[in-house]
Amino acid sequence: MKIITKNKNLENHINYIFILSLIEDFLKKRGYQKIDLPVLSPVLIPESYLEVFETEFKYFDIKEKLYLTPSPELFLKRLLVQGVGNCYYLGKSFRNSDPPSSLHAFEFTMLEFYKLGVSYMDIADEVLEMLREINKKLNDQMLKLKNNNQKLKHFKIKEKNLKINFDRWEKISVVQAFEKYAGIYEMELFNHQLFFEKAKKKGYKVDKFSYEDIWSQIYAQEIEPNLGKKGYPTLIYDYPKEFAALAKLNSDGKTAQRFEFYINGIELGDCYTELIDWREQEDRFIKEDKERKRIGKINHPVDKEFIEALKWGLPPCSGIAIGIERLAMVFLGLESIDQLKVIDIVL
Amino acid sequence: MKINAGNLKKGDFVFYQNDIWQVQKAEFYAPGKGAALMKTKIWNVKKGKNIDVTFKSNEEVDTVEVESRLMVFLYKDNENLYFMDEKTFNQYSLPVKSVSGLDKYLKEGEKLYVYIFNDVPLSLRPPLSVRLKVVKSEQAVKGDTISSAKKSVTLETGAVIMAPLFIKEGDIVIINPETGEYMGREGK
């Protein structure tokens, strides 16, 4: 790996920094408390589909394993239990084994915010407001520069992005999306046996693969390319319980209160009505930790105190994580997140 | 040979849905729910079309050992392009539609790499650039001195491209045969 200095990206980078300030202004105005957090932790939430970075603290004979956090969730939820109230983290998160690509970096900037006493759909309203405000302020800034007859040197938004209208979401449930774009009906989606048969019929390899594997392959191949393409951002909601992660289940017992949002086929954010039932969270942790061991992922200690915190009582709340480089890339009409970087580490 | 889709890279040939395809783009994609995936754009070497295919990164795909062999381009008719292997003197043909318009920039006698599988030609490896003589060029209009201005010129193969105003008949121009773009003029 090596360090690359990319001076040609300075304009994009300045615009990206401006977007960061717009996000912070918005959250501050709405009463969210900014929290700064460590990125190294001795324990993590077990998530079987993420690989982590492992490092070590050393002091004479003391040696202690530490892990770069793939998300600030384990810290923020502790604070929510302590009564911090609506809050956010805007900073780095780390995911290993993701080779750099147009949408991936192993080190990236994440916004995660939590709001008390609301469900995931209320967060959707908040996010839409935020997108609208970023869009408006970006355009205002551009107009101001134009009117002052200044060169648009440090500001450019490509035309195509102005066409996205942030007045409303295009809302579609996962069930509707699978039927509409992949011809997979509700019954087939939730019944693993029928799902395997259908996937096989469609030409997917199913032998030796799990429901989750095939589901996400079909989702990426047939669903995602259609999302956020109709002039509005798309909100796709209610994922099968296999993808519940830390989200509360719906009363149907089959789906979780999780949504993701997309612009132009690109996933930008992931929101849950947070699971507050510690027993269920503990069960999911055990399952995920087992799965991590089975597939040979780094065997980090599980954050057991997170469960203790939940026992103390996480207030009902919802939270969202948004990939900020992707968001800026979409608003600035770029093809790849690395176009935002002035210093990049590449393979 | 079987490999994991996660190891696919640009330029590889794969056997997929009973056809041979060349990988044009391969990007690892970890959606954070379910398996890590490999998003690819693959190009059908016979039909000359692209499709997007998402593989599971640990799914086995069949790669095909395709040989690229240097051959002489002999001539073309309405349907095929004809090539000869200079070592064996064997002749091969490729359907015009399999070369995605490259034939417009090919000169008889030129040496090119042909993709061969089981001694059957599949397609042509596009050369990075080709050098062709300008046979017809309109005079630049007087006073038209904008450096970015272009005019159309006809090349010895019959193809018409846009070139800078200073290009004259008899000049040798360098063309990107995949896009038909003017890249430069050969020094005299």
Q: 10 Å Cβ neighbour count for A318? A: 25
| Residue-level pLDDT at A245 | 85
**Which value, in Å, is the radius of gyration of the alpha carbons in chain B?**
20
| Residue-level pLDDT at B187 | 77
Average pLDDT (B16-38) is 87
| Residue-level pLDDT at B135 | 93
**What are all long-range contacts of B92-97, with beta carbons under 8 Å and residues at least 24 apart?**
B92/B116, B92/B121, B93/B121, B94/B121, B94/B123, B94/B124, B95/B46, B97/B47, B97/B48
- Which residues of chain B does A98 touch, with a Cβ-Cβ cutoff of 8 Å? 28, 30
CB B106 within 8 A of CB B130: yes
- Which residues of chain A does B35 touch, with a Cβ-Cβ cutoff of 8 Å? 49, 209-210, 212-213, 216-217
| Residue-level pLDDT at B32 | 72
Q: Which amino acid is at B153?
A: V
A98 touches chain B (CB under 8 A): yes
Q: Per-residue pLDDT for A81 more than 90?
A: yes
Please give the order of strands across the beta sheet that includes A234-240: A33-34, A87-94, A107-116, A317-323, A266-273, A255-263, A234-240, A170-173
Of B17, B33, B53, the CB nearest to A216: B33
Q: Per-residue pLDDT for A156 more than 60?
A: no
The chain-wide mean pLDDT, for chain B, equals: 88
ipTM of this model? 0.81
d(CA A288, CA A45) in angstroms, rounded, equals: 9
Q: Per-residue pLDDT for B146 more than 70?
A: no
A158 burial (CB, 10 Å; 0-12 / 13-18 / 19+) is exposed
A30 burial (CB, 10 Å; 0-12 / 13-18 / 19+) is middle
Residue A93's pLDDT band (cuts 50, 70, 90):
very high
Q: Per-residue pLDDT for A60 more than 90?
A: yes
| Residue-level pLDDT at B55 | 95
Percent of chain A with pLDDT over 70: 96
d(CA A199, CA A191) in angstroms, rounded, equals: 12
Q: Point out which residues pair with B171 in neighbouring strands.
A: none
Q: Are the beta carbons of A217 and B28 separated by less than 8 Å?
A: no
| Residue-level pLDDT at A200 | 97
Residue A164's pLDDT band (cuts 50, 70, 90):
confident
Contacts of A15 (CB under 8 A, 6+ apart): A154, A155, A156, A328, A332
Of B27, B31, B37, the CB nearest to A267: B31
Q: Are the beta carbons of B27 and A216 separated by less than 8 Å?
A: no
For B111, the token pair is 């040496």
Residue B142's pLDDT band (cuts 50, 70, 90):
low
Average pLDDT (B96-105) is 85
Please count the residue pairs, one from chain A and one from chain B, whose beta carbons lie less than 8 angstroms apart. Answer: 68
Q: What is the pLDDT of residues A103-129, one digit of tens each?
A: 999 999 999 999 999 999 999 999 999
CA atoms within 13 A on the CB side of A108: 28
Residue B188's pLDDT band (cuts 50, 70, 90):
low
Q: Per-residue pLDDT for A236 more than 50?
A: yes
The chain-wide mean pLDDT, for chain A, equals: 93
CA angle A173, A176, A179 (to 5 degrees): 150
| CA distance, residue B110 to nearest chain A CA (Å) | 37
Comparing A153-167, A226-240, B133-147, B173-187, the range with the smallest average pLDDT is A153-167
A217 touches chain B (CB under 8 A): yes
Closest CA in chain B for residue A245: B33
What is the DSSP pairing of strand A255-263 with strand A234-240?
antiparallel
Q: What is the pLDDT of residues A282-298, one digit of tens each?
A: 999 999 999 999 989 99
Would you say domain B130-185 falls under CATH 3.20.20.140?
no
Which residue from B151, B154, B156 is spatially nearest to B136, judged by alpha carbons? B154
Q: Per-residue pLDDT for A159 more than 60?
A: no
Closest CA in chain A for residue B40: A221
d(CA A44, CA B164) in angstroms, rounded, equals: 61
- Answer CATH for B2-63 from 2.30.30.30, 3.40.190.290, 2.40.70.10, 3.40.50.1820: 2.30.30.30
Residue B47's pLDDT band (cuts 50, 70, 90):
confident
| Residue-level pLDDT at B23 | 94
CB A46 within 8 A of CB A282: no
Q: Are the beta carbons of A245 and B31 separated by less than 8 Å?
A: no
| Residue-level pLDDT at A148 | 73
CB A114 within 8 A of CB A88: yes
Q: Are the beta carbons of B55 and A217 separated by less than 8 Å?
A: yes
- Which residues of chain A does B53 touch, with a Cβ-Cβ cutoff of 8 Å? 221
Considering the segment(s) B67-125 as one domain, its CATH architecture is Beta Barrel (2.40)
Q: What is the pLDDT of residues A177-210, one digit of tens each?
A: 999 999 999 999 999 999 999 999 999 999 989 9
Which residue from B118, B86, B110, B83 is spatially nearest to B13, judged by alpha carbons? B118
Q: What is the pLDDT of residues A2-35, one digit of tens each?
A: 999 999 999 899 999 999 999 999 999 999 999 9
DSSP of B38-67, one letter per residue? EEEEEEETTT--EEEEEEETTSEEEE---E
Contacts of B142 (CB under 8 A, 6+ apart): none
| Residue-level pLDDT at A161 | 46
| Residue-level pLDDT at A97 | 79
Q: Are the beta carbons of A221 and B53 separated by less than 8 Å?
A: yes
CB B154 within 8 A of CB B137: yes
Tell me whether the CATH fold assigned to B67-125 matches the one assigned to B130-185: yes
Q: Per-residue pLDDT for A257 more than 90?
A: yes
For A298, the token pair is 């780094």
| Residue-level pLDDT at B34 | 73
CB B163 within 8 A of CB B151: yes
A112 touches chain B (CB under 8 A): no
DSSP of B59-114, one letter per residue? SEEEE---EEEEEEEEEE-SSEEEEE-TTT--EEEEEGGGGTTGGGG--TT-EEEE
Domain boundaries, chain B: 2-63, 67-125, 130-185
